[in-house]
Amino acid sequence: MWQWLYKLGSPRHFYEMTSTFLPWLTFVTYFLLIVGLVWGLGFAPRDYQMGDNYRIIYIHVPLALGALWVYVMMAVMAAMHMIWNIKVADMVAKSCAVVGVSYCAVALFTGAMWGKRIWGVYWIWDAKLTSFLILFFIYIGVMALRSAFDSETSASKAASVLTLVGIVNLPIVYYASVWWNTLHQPPSRLSLSAEGANPPEIWIPVFFTGFGLIGLVFLLVILRTRNEILWRERRAQWVQDLVKQELSRA
Amino acid sequence: MPDFQFASLGDFFAMGGYAFYVWAAYLFFFAVMIWNLLQPRLERRKVLKLLQARQARESNAAARAGE
């Protein structure tokens, strides 16, 4: 296990290992997403209070949780880069920022579409929404800071530090609706019986889209990291051989 | 297997009167995720082309140095 993790720290091994399981990851991710979306949009029963508008939750909730999850990944990678100076960790962190900011944007947009019908407004400055908007800006800040340096080493260091500082916002986003009275509802309690507030017919599709969108996080981060590896390791012999191979295949 | 919740396809697109909100949310979602999936593939092609050009340049330079 440790040796396996240790090997992933080498750009070449990371590239080769991801080559073998990328097709599987792609297949599982697409399968989960297609099942979850079709089920959620067409087959899950209508909510008796919110009508069909509630069908937005099948993407809104997993995207919002996904955006938080990507940040945790990015922070762990930033810490690993700072402590052990692992190059791959920094490349993964760089990829995480782009994926995270896209999840944030869609979570905010789908939230606005929901809010308009349920609360009567697209946006309100309550604790949950505002702290989530700050998460969006932190992602943008990390990306901007990284691109502001000419030297790759300084860029990675600065981005890692900002990423670690930004962790402070995560519990605020997650617990905002518990700590304060927000218009945004706290996390729902799921019930196993059909009589409960949130019966399984409603929430099972969320698990499909949820795991599908987490799979998509890994898929997108890996695809981006592989490009980054090719570029940063461009002087290595194995990359030069790989480029030649691609040339002969094309 | 749960039943399809809408009487017709038209009903499905109407989303019980919430069509604008539901479809706007899903449309934006699909647009962003398709970009997310396409962008790294285009980027990969770009990186490979750049590296190929670099290799060609270097082998040319080596050939000239050998003359």
Contact A55/B22, CB-based, under 8 Å? Answer: yes
Quick one: average pLDDT of A198-204?
78
Residue A250 or residue A49, greater confidence: A49
Arithmetic mean of pLDDT over chain A: 89
Q: Which pLDDT value is given to residue A221?
A: 97
Number of domains in chain A: 1
Q: A51 and chain B: CB distance < 8 Å anywhere?
A: yes
Full residue range of the structural domain in which residue B47 is found:
28-67
The percent of residues above 90 in pLDDT, for chain A, comes to 62
> Is the residue at B8 inside a domain?
no
Q: Mutate which of A25, A56, A63 to test chain B, going by most B C-beta atoms within 10 A? A: A56
> Is the residue at A4 inside a domain?
no
Full residue range of the structural domain in which residue A46 is found:
14-190+214-249
Q: How far is B57 from chain A (nearest CA, A)?
A: 13
pLDDT at position A8 over 80: no
pTM for the model: 0.90
pLDDT at position B67 over 70: no
Quick one: average pLDDT of A40-52?
80
> Is the residue at B60 inside a domain?
yes
Q: Which pLDDT value is given to residue A178?
A: 81
> Is the residue at A207 inside a domain?
no
ipTM for this model: 0.89
Residue of chain B whose Cα is closest to the Cα of A231: B47
Which among B25, B43, B51 has the least Cβ separation from residue A113? B25
> Is the residue at A52 inside a domain?
yes
Q: Which pLDDT value is given to residue A137?
A: 97
Q: How far is B42 from chain A (nearest CA, A)?
A: 10
Which among B4, B17, B36 has the least Cβ separation from residue A220? B36
Arithmetic mean of pLDDT over chain B: 88
> Is the residue at B35 inside a domain?
yes
Which among A53, A102, A226 has the least Cβ separation from residue B36? A102
pLDDT in tens, B12-54: 877 888 888 999 999 999 999 999 999 999 999 999 999 999 8
DSSP state of B32: H
**Chain B residues in contact with A230 (beta carbon < 8 A):** 44, 47-48, 51
Contact B26/A59, CB-based, under 8 Å? Answer: yes
pLDDT in tens, A73-94: 999 999 999 999 899 999 999 9
Q: Which pLDDT value is given to residue B9?
A: 82
> Is the residue at B15 inside a domain?
no
Q: How far is B63 from chain A (nearest CA, A)?
A: 18
> Is the residue at A8 inside a domain?
no
